[in-house]
Structure 1
């Protein structure tokens, strides 16, 4: 959820002008405030961050409507004795990024977000450790942090530097660059791994000539971009499906597609304003090339693919109809007033019938590496929608709606 909020903020910061032109800016800001209001409640006590509500094992064993849920609503937290630098660092990033969005709209609210981000980051940095260890049985195997907490500390510091303009955060980044392994897995970006995002975000400062001490991050960003370009890198870090979709191993591939495409578009704008062309071995990558690759991914999501299927529910003539989403797949209270118990929903889960409730706008995990898609609830890696898939797409759609 915190990564969702951070990426939604970044999209508004970079592409808010396009959102305003399309009449969607207020909707994006309202969605962001829903999240930040929650984070303010979850961080109301110094040295404590509430990070999860609900027991994941019991939740995953039931298929029931939100209105019927009777599983445990246990609240889990990280604190000094049970650190969670990863989840706290990302929450700090979300609060800091959002403070930029609200700065001109609601200055008092923006200040509240920034001050809270500072406190949450101090807690994350002072009490270092992964929340996977502190809350192992509550978060694993569903929400384990495989990548470690170091990237979230750099990510949080990067957003606090951008939001506050305080030199201490820039010095923190430079001082901790090696310790926190800034050069690791620079080709990854998502809710569990922030490395590529850190490099692209900090590169803007370098490209504008304001931060020569962050030059290594811009070099990493260039390397990251080259690794994505088909036909340029002899050892590409991602593969492409026959239909042209970015594909990385693991579940919910569309999260990689939207997140990496967002970085492609953001970086193309940064290097364009700096008149920078990315050296990639014997060739080079222009801003136009980056934009075209990002555009190709968005077009694929919306239906320009071998199956001629939009992977956004409700968009286009053909889209996923049996998504892995309880409220979408179970009958509404109006259609079925009686309670549907924990296991009673199994027949709807296994049914071949389309979902009765359309989750308009949700983007699912997407097709496999050969462009095939089962459109079946039990195939959750392909059919489950997530907020962290959608969030990066908001900025992409805003830009390409203005630049068809």
Structure 2
């Protein structure tokens, strides 16, 4: 949730002027989340990281309005730290404070203060919530990349939001921890290395791209961040001799991990953002003998968005409600079950199973949601039970908001 909020805020910061009338909806979505995070961090010494038992919730197929599984809250603390979840909340609050600087200055100040407070907590009491909340957050939401990347990510956003030298020093003094963490976690350093990874669990590439704008013209610091951002691009583009990702026959980018569509959306976001940063200083990227211009990065990002929206071998949109043919059986409780208006009677935990296993299309269209995505051969099973392919997630959709705003504006 925090990562989705950070990405949504970053999208508004980069492309908000191109969102038109939808900007207000983006601001509402961000504030819904940041209000929650302010509450989740309002008790001194505690950060509430999860509500509900993942096993109990996953075993029930119920409407969210009337779900009756336990709403047990789980928090990290000084004695039982969780730096990754706390620092990502700090990043979300800091990024959002920049968003609201123009639209609601008082709220912006509140968000920044909240970000500073929760970052101090994350940094002072370091440790992974795998150890403090492992029985409840794992295996569903385990941290596989360590917490140092979130601490750097949070510090980078706080520096951008506050311009405080303290946070810049945090970034510079701890950037080595990313490489140290890779050496200690080789199994998690997917093809290309951690510098090529970005998502809700691993922040390395996002740190390098975000900070690269701040240091683009500084030779000393640029070597630390821009070189890794360039290397990330070289692992991604099809013509690069350093490419480590796979592409389906239809052209969709694939990386390790579930919810395959998260990679094309979030990495395309980074390609567009980094291309814009490079354009501002008239720079290109060298991948061996191949020279890549900023416009080429944008072309690759556009190919991914086009695939998601229907330019693929199945001629199917993976965005619900978009186009003539789209995913109809997404893995989503509220979408698949009748509303209370349609069916006022209680549908209990076991009672919802019939809706889960039904082959009928979802009753309620979750307009705009993007499904988990196809297999590497471009095949897709439109089935609720195949959650790897059919489950929509906020971390798939959040970066797509900024991407679509960019292409809607025809910016180059």
Q: Name the structure 1 match of 2:144.
A: 146
Give the 3 Å change call, closer, same or farther, for CA 123–211 of structure 1 in structure 2. Answer: farther
Output one character per residue of 1:13-39: Cα deviation in whole Å (capped at 9) or x when no partner: 0001111xx321111111100000100
Aligned-pair Cα RMSD in Å = 1.3
Instruction: Give me the TM-score of the superposition, normalised by structure 2.
Output: 0.95
1:54-73 map, 5 Å: 54-73=52-71
Q: Quote the offset at 1:211 in angstroms.
A: 7.5
C-alpha distance in 2 between matches for 1:210 and 1:37: 37
1:191 maps onto 2:219 in alignment: no
Among candidates 100, 103, 108, match of residue 102 of structure 1: 100
Q: CA 1:284/1:182 → structure 2, altered by over 3 Å: closer, same or farther?
A: farther
Query: In the alignment, what sits opposite 2:246?
Result: 239
Q: Which residue of 1 aligns with 2:281?
A: 274
1:213: which partner in 2?
A: 221
Superposition TM-score, scaled by structure 1 size: 0.97
Counterpart Cα distance in 1 of 2:375 and 2:148 = 31
Q: Displacement of 1:150 after TM fit?
A: 0.9
The whole-number CA distance in structure 1 between the counterparts of 2:328 and 2:177 is 47
* From 204, 213, 217, the counterpart of 1:204: 213
The 1:212/1:108 distance shift into structure 2, 3 A limit, reads: farther
Structure 2 Cα separation of the partners of residues 104 and 320 of structure 1:
38
Query: Which runs of structure 2 are paired with 1:375-386 in the superposition (5 Å)?
Result: 375-386=382-393
CA distance in 1, matches of 2:70, 2:296: 50
Tell me the CA shift for residue 206 of structure 1.
Answer: 1.7
Q: How does 1:158-177 map to 2 (within 5 A)?
A: 158-177=156-175
CA distance in 1, matches of 2:267, 2:180: 18
Q: Does 1:155 align with 2:153?
A: yes
Query: How far off is 1:68 after superposition?
Result: 2.4
Answer whether contact 2:250 2:313 (CA < 8 A) is retained.
yes
Number of aligned positions between the proteins: 400
Q: For 1:223, which of 224, 231, 246 is the aligned residue? A: 231
- Please tell me whether the aligned partners of residues 178 and 204 of structure 2 are also in contact (alpha carbons under 8 angstroms): no
Determine the C-alpha separation between the residues in 1 that align with 2:127 and 2:7.
Answer: 24
User: Would the aligned equivalents of 1:12 and 1:101 in 2 still touch at CA under 8 Å?
Assistant: yes
Q: Which residue matches 1:122?
A: 120
Q: Secondary structure at the match of 1:77?
A: strand
CA contact (8 A) 1:205 1:211 kept: no
Q: Which residue pairs with 1:356 in the alignment? A: 363
Question: Partner of 1:181: helix, strand, or coil?
Answer: helix
Tell me the equivalent position of 1:8. Answer: 8
Q: 1:106 deviation in Å? A: 1.0
Paired position in structure 1 for 2:130:
132
| Structure 1 position 115, deviation (Å) | 0.8
CA distance in 2, matches of 1:162, 1:293: 28
* DSSP 3-state at the match of 1:144: coil
Indicate conservation of the 8 Å contact 1:151/1:181, yes or no. no
Q: Structure 1 183/141 Cα, relative in aligned 2: closer, same or farther at 3 Å?
A: closer
Q: Which runs of 5+ in 2 are unaligned?
A: 183-193
Instruction: Work out the CA distance in 1 between the residues paired with 2:180 and 2:276.
Output: 23
- Displacement, 1:338? 1.0
Matched, 1:87 2:95: no
